[in-house]
Amino acid sequence: MIGFILGTSEGKKLLSLINKYTSNIIISTATSYGGELLKDYKFKHLNTKPLNEEEMMTLFKKFDVKVLVDASHPYAKEVSKICNKVCNALNIEYIRYERPSILDGIISENLIRITEYSDLGKILSKINGNILNTTGSRNIEKIMKLNIKNRIIHRVLPSVKVMEECFKLGVKVEDLIAIKGPVGYELNKGFIDEYNAKALISKDSGSQGGTYEKFKAANDKNIKFILIEREKVHYQNVFNTEEKVVEYILNSTKTLI
């Protein structure tokens, strides 16, 4: 059995490619919404909730997983660490699909690269005006704990659960933009203009996450683009395209197809 940990938009393409050869797969996503997006593909089992180490171990044993494709989000490092640990314990071959960075090599006076959310306080204290945060609802609390004086407008998924979580954190309704990404260049510029933003905070989510469109909009509007860089992790089997992942599976695990 081949296991897939899917937390990115590439999940559909990976499944469409592997389904040409087999349905002998299990899929795990972190949310029911993520699972709903994949319901039309062929598989033996679909899990739609986050798994801890023990739960993942039980699942993989039950379905006799021999190969795992970890296509979780570039910033879901804890998930990848658990996957690695479980794979090592159960002698499962681990394959990492990693979105390539889209801003490597780009130099701009407006581009500020940081590695931790705690670094935001010092940077934003020097910016006079509103801030547009596009790093997702799970990072709002990290930003609010910094007690930044600027007005921060958070762009989040249009989910009832997400909105409720934002309100519990004390986010005002006028400081929320609920929209499903990725968002294009023109709409990013529109949000910057609408909220008179002087800086935009983003993760490096690659081309699929709309990172370049956000950067270009901010740069063209001459505002600061603050990039929370990825934690550097060195994987043994890492691929940057869905085709390479499936090609590797086909060439090295033919008995599973």
Alpha helices in 96-184 (DSSP H): 120-124, 140-144, 160-168
Same domain, yes or no: 68 and 163: no
- The stretch 100-120 carries a mean pLDDT of 88
* Domain coverage including residue 147: 111-228
Check whether 255 has a pLDDT greater than 60. Answer: no
Q: Are 129 and 218 in the same domain?
A: yes
pTM exceeds 0.85, yes or no: no
Q: Other CB atoms closer than 10 Å to residue 8's CB: what's the count?
A: 22
Determine the straight-line distance between the first and last CA of the chain, rounded to whole angstroms.
9
Q: Which pairs from 13-19 meet CB under 8 Å and 24+ separation?
A: 13/242, 14/69, 14/71, 14/97, 14/242, 14/245, 14/246, 15/41, 15/42, 15/43, 16/41, 17/242, 17/243, 17/246, 18/246, 18/249
Element (DSSP H or E) covering residue 177: strand 176-178
The 10s digit of each residue's pLDDT in 134-145 is 998 989 999 999
Question: 166 and 126: one domain?
Answer: yes
- The reply to whether 105 falls in a domain is no
User: Both 127 and 212 in a single domain?
Assistant: yes
Residues 8 and 89 in one domain: yes
Q: pLDDT at position 181, please?
A: 82
Per-chain mean pLDDT for the chain:
90
